[in-house]
C-alpha cells in the first residue's frame, strides 16, 4: 500500500509541472482568443466594446479572408502531396538501393531542415530574383537571352507556387529520414519473397513498403498538415509579406495584419478562432480518412 502511495506521489509531482505549464501557456491563451474575438478592441487602448459575434459576421463577409483561406488550402494540399511523394520515393531509394555515398545524400537532404526559415527565404529570394537569379538564368538557356524575365515573386499567378517550392525544399529531408527509419525495420525476407514471385520494385513499394509504414505516414501527415499552417505564415512574412496585392496572404499572416497592423485586435482574434477550429477539424478529417487496420509482420 505504501509503495502504491509513493508511486502515486512520484507520478503526481512529475506530471504536475507539465500540466501547469500546459494550462498557463496553452489552455488559457486559447480560451482568451475566443473571449477577445467577441470584443471590438484596438489592442492598445484601455476601452473594449463587447460586440458579440459581429467580428465573425464581418469575417465571413470579408473577401480578403476568403482569399487567404484559399491560399492556405492550396499550400496545404500542394506542399503536402509533393513533400510526401518525394520523401517516400527518396527514402525508398536510399534505403533499398545500393548507391555509393548514401550517408552523404542523407546529410545533404537533411540540411534544409536545420536552416531557419529566414535563411531559406533569403536563399529562394535570391534564386527567384528576376534579373540575376539562378532560376531565370537557367531558363534563359532555353527561352533565349532576350526573353522577358519571369517575376517569380511578383506575378500573382505563380507567386503562390514559388512559395510552395521553398516550403517543399525545407521539409523533404526531415520526413525522408523519418520514413527511412521506418523502412529499416521491414524484414528483407519480405522483399526477397516478393522478388521470387516476380513482383517489381514499384509493386513492392506500393504493396509492401507503404502498407507496413502506414502508421508512421498517417502520424506525420497529420503533423505536417497542421505545421504547414504555421510554416506558410513564416515564409509569407519573410518572402512576400502577403503581396503582390494580397495574392500570397494566408490565414495567420492576415490575422497578424488585422490584429497588430490595422489595430483590429478583436477581429484578428476572430480569425485566430476560426483557424483554431479549422486546424482541429482538418486533423479529425485526416485521421478519419487515413484510418486502417495496422499490418504486422
pTM: 0.88
Write the pLDDT tens digit of every residue in 89-98. Answer: 999 988 877 7
Examine the pLDDT at 297 and tell me if it is beyond 60: no
pLDDT at 49: 87
d(CA 181, CA 94) in angstroms, rounded, equals 11
pLDDT at 162: 93
Domains and CATH numbers, the chain: 59-289 (1.10.3720.10)
In the three-class reduction of DSSP (H, G, I as helix; E, B as strand; rest coil), residue 183 is classed as helix
d(CA 40, CA 57) in angstroms, rounded, equals 13
pLDDT at 3: 65
Lowest mean pLDDT: which of 104-108, 152-156, 200-204?
Answer: 104-108
Write the pLDDT tens digit of every residue in 135-182. Answer: 988 888 887 667 788 889 988 889 999 999 999 999 999 999 889 988
Measure the N-to-C terminal CA separation of the chain; round to a whole number of Å.
Answer: 41
Amino acid at each position: 500500500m505504501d509503495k502504491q502511495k509513493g508511486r502515486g506521489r512520484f507520478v503526481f509531482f512529475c506530471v504536475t509541472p507539465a500540466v501547469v505549464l500546459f494550462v498557463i501557456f496553452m489552455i488559457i491563451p486559447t480560451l482568451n482568443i475566443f473571449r477577445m474575438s467577441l470584443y471590438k478592441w484596438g489592442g492598445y487602448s484601455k476601452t473594449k466594446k463587447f460586440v458579440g459575434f459581429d467580428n465573425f459576421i464581418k469575417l465571413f463577409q470579408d473577401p480578403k479572408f476568403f482569399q487567404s483561406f484559399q491560399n492556405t488550402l492550396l499550400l496545404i494540399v500542394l506542399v503536402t502531396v509533393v513533400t510526401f511523394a518525394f520523401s517516400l520515393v527518396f527514402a525508398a531509394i536510399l534505403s533499398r538501393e545500393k548507391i555509393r555515398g548514401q550517408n552523404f545524400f542523407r546529410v545533404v537532404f537533411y540540411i534544409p531542415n536545420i536552416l531557419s526559415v529566414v535563411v531559406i527565404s533569403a536563399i529562394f529570394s535570391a534564386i527567384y530574383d528576376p534579373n540575376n537569379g539562378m532560376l531565370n538564368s537557367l531558363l534563359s538557356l532555353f527561352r533565349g537571352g532576350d526573353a522577358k524575365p519571369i517575376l517569380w515573386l511578383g506575378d500573382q499567378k505563380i507567386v503562390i507556387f514559388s512559395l510552395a517550392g521553398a516550403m517543399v525544399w525545407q521539409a523533404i529531408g526531415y520526413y525522408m529520414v523519418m520514413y527511412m527509419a521506418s523502412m529499416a525495420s521491414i524484414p528483407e525476407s519480405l522483399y526477397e519473397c516478393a522478388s521470387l514471385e516476380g513482383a517489381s520494385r514499384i509493386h513492392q513499394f506500393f504493396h509492401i513498403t507503404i502498407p507496413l509504414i502506414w502508421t508512421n505516414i498517417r502520424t506525420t501527415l497529420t503533423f505536417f498538415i497542421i505545421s504547414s499552417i504555421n510554416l506558410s505564415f513564416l515564409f509569407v512574412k519573410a518572402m512576400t509579406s502577403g503581396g503582390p496585392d494580397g495574392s500570397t496572404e494566408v490565414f495567420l499572416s492576415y490575422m497578424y495584419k488585422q490584429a497588430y497592423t490595422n489595430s483590429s485586435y478583436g477581429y484578428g482574434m476572430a480569425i485566430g478562432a476560426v483557424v483554431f477550429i479549422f486546424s482541429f477539424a482538418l486533423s479529425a478529417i485526416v485521421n478519419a480518412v487515413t484510418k486502417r487496420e495496422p499490418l504486422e509482420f
